[in-house]
Amino acid sequence: MAFCASEGCRRWRPEVLARRMSGIQIDGRWFCSQECVERMARQLLAGARPLRLGVPAVAPPRLGVLLLHERAITAGQLTRAIASQPGTGLRLGAQLCADGACDEVTVLRALAAQAGARFVASIAPSAVADAPGGLPREAVRALGVVPFTLPEVTGRIRVACAAPIPRAALAALRRLTGWTLAVYLVSDTTFAALRDAYGSATDRPPRVELVRTSTVADAATRIAAAAAGSRRMTMADAHWAPYTWVRVTAEGIVRDVLLENAEESCQAASTLH
């Protein structure tokens, strides 16, 4: 004997209905109707919180200090670069490269050391044209993370990102896919090329359908629509500013709903405090 898992409904499910498999099972919970799935999705989206991150307690050393320490640049070059930054709007590493004080790989190596990450000097954009990992292109853009190898049987996959490492987005990707991420830092230019090339050679529909929306109500409707017509589904969600990503898997089909800049979500969250 069971009741609808949607708060405010609690409809009883008689055994005869259970045998006929009416309603929908989501992660082992039973919902009597699409409306109840939608209500549950709205509550979930409005209460979305960023994942907990293992943020280092000690601030990492500054890039300029690291480069000086490695004798990659001189104190004079650093002073000049810092003085030029307000005018050019460039980040320090890019400014030093523009000044000819050092090269991109040197900056990348220092940024990787700063973040405690690995780095790759370059990756050919053609490596990601087939969308390794099968993520929707929109998700790759929103995450700021590009998978560049196929997942291994162990679930390990290599992903590229630019500095600073988008730790919240990586945590979201880990949670939604179950992958073990081997993170590699790449230069801003390499990252932009990879992001633009990801999935560019695939004419076939993506393995994952994705809809992007900016209101909680619309996102909840779409999640409920994904549930319609199936009897059993699984649902996973992850939040990183300004996105909430919900992955619905039903009858072997994966559907993603990407909610962006949902003000209702922020307001709902702030009223709880």
Q: Which residues bind Zn ion (CB under 5 A)?
A: 4, 6, 9, 11, 32, 36
Pick 36 or 238: Cβ nearer Zn ion? 36
From the CB of 262, what's the least distance to Zn ion, in Å?
24
From the CB of 39, what's the least distance to Zn ion, in Å?
8
Pick 14 or 50: Cβ nearer Zn ion? 14
Pick 16 or 272: Cβ nearer Zn ion? 16
Pick 36 or 208: Cβ nearer Zn ion? 36
From the CB of 31, what's the least distance to Zn ion, in Å?
6
From the CB of 35, what's the least distance to Zn ion, in Å?
7
Torsion region of 131: left, alpha or beta (phi above 0 gives left; psi -120 to 50 gives alpha): left
From the CB of 57, what's the least distance to Zn ion, in Å?
46
Pick 80 or 232: Cβ nearer Zn ion? 232
> β-strands 180-185, 118-119: how paired?
parallel
